[in-house]
Amino acid sequence: MQIIDSRFGNMFQDLIADTADRFARSLRLAALLLGLFGLVWTNNAYSASKSILVLGDSLSAEYGLARGSGWVALLQQRLQQEKLDDRITNASISGETTSGGKARLAALLQQRPDIVIIELGANDALRGLQLKATEDNLRSMIDAVQKAKAKVLLVGMRIPPNYGRDYTDKFFALYGTLAKQTKVPLVPFLLAGVPDKPEMFQADRIHPVAQAHPIILDNVWSGLKPLLTK
């Protein structure tokens, strides 16, 4: 009877050991699968490739710069570094105003962009145009892009106080107001981090040199990156 009990005990211990071994292997397999899932999730953190349209003025059109050194070209490089095959169309024109951008937008939307970066308004303000007209034009463009089922990234600007502090402050504030009312993301100031560095500007004291454009890119990227993951 003791022999039978001993054999039964040994069999029971072997069964426990085998079960524990199987459980350990299952845990290792689960950990491996979770690791692979995490790798896949990381590689697919961004959604499918997108078409990005940049509608801007000379600040986005590489005014006074060698081709390929402006922030839009640097953005394409950033996308490649992030392993993204998003396409960029730069429809920026030096001297462009909000009324000019508004007039061109319908044709540009026929390209069916997924994201439209609107960087306009500075030339309106430098000419002292009515702020209400600038705001209405920007609002109209945002509305048109949203009706086309594309996302908008609005880029704000500041100007020197040539027309008085009141005009300057109201111009800057209209971007924040528009972004809030239309529920679109905002880059508060395209040139943030640049104006306090005189060496970052060309001789006209308006247009940044090439060395400033990586800073400008970082400003835009902070607002654009979340749109690429949606």
Task: Compute the distance between CA of residue 99 and CA of residue 96 in angstroms, rounded to an integer.
Answer: 8
- 95 and 119 together in one domain: yes
Catalytic pick among 58, 86, 124, 213: 58
Percent of the chain scored above 70 by pLDDT? 80
87 DSSP β-pair partners:
51
- 178 and 64 together in one domain: yes
pLDDT reading at 151 higher than 60: yes
Determine the pLDDT at residue 230.
Answer: 72
Catalytic pick among 5, 85, 196, 204: 204
Mean per-residue pLDDT, 27-31: 49
Poorest-confidence range of 26-40, 50-64, 112-126, 142-156?
26-40
pLDDT reading at 3 higher than 60: no
pLDDT reading at 196 higher than 60: yes
Determine the pLDDT at residue 73.
Answer: 98
- 38 and 85 together in one domain: no
Owning domain of residue 14: 1-44
- 208 and 143 together in one domain: yes
Pick the more confident residue, 203 or 36: 203
Catalytic pick among 69, 99, 207, 218: 207
- 35 and 53 together in one domain: no
Total domains in the chain come to 2
Which contacts of 126-132 are long-range, i.e. CB under 8 A and separated by 24 or more positions?
A: 126/159, 126/162, 127/97, 128/162, 128/163, 128/167, 129/97, 131/167, 131/170, 131/171, 131/174
- 6 and 80 together in one domain: no
- 160 and 72 together in one domain: yes
Determine the pLDDT at residue 17.
Answer: 52
- 40 and 127 together in one domain: no
pLDDT reading at 190 higher than 80: yes
Mean per-residue pLDDT, 220-228: 97
pLDDT reading at 119 higher than 70: yes
- 9 and 113 together in one domain: no
pLDDT reading at 85 higher than 70: yes
Measured CA distances, 199 to 114, 152, 202, 221 (Å): 36, 32, 8, 23
Residue 213: active-site member? no
pLDDT band at 90 (very low <50, low <70, confident <90, very high): very high
- 37 and 52 together in one domain: no
53 DSSP β-pair partners:
89, 116
Locus of tokens 């990227």: 221
pTM for the complete prediction?
Answer: 0.81
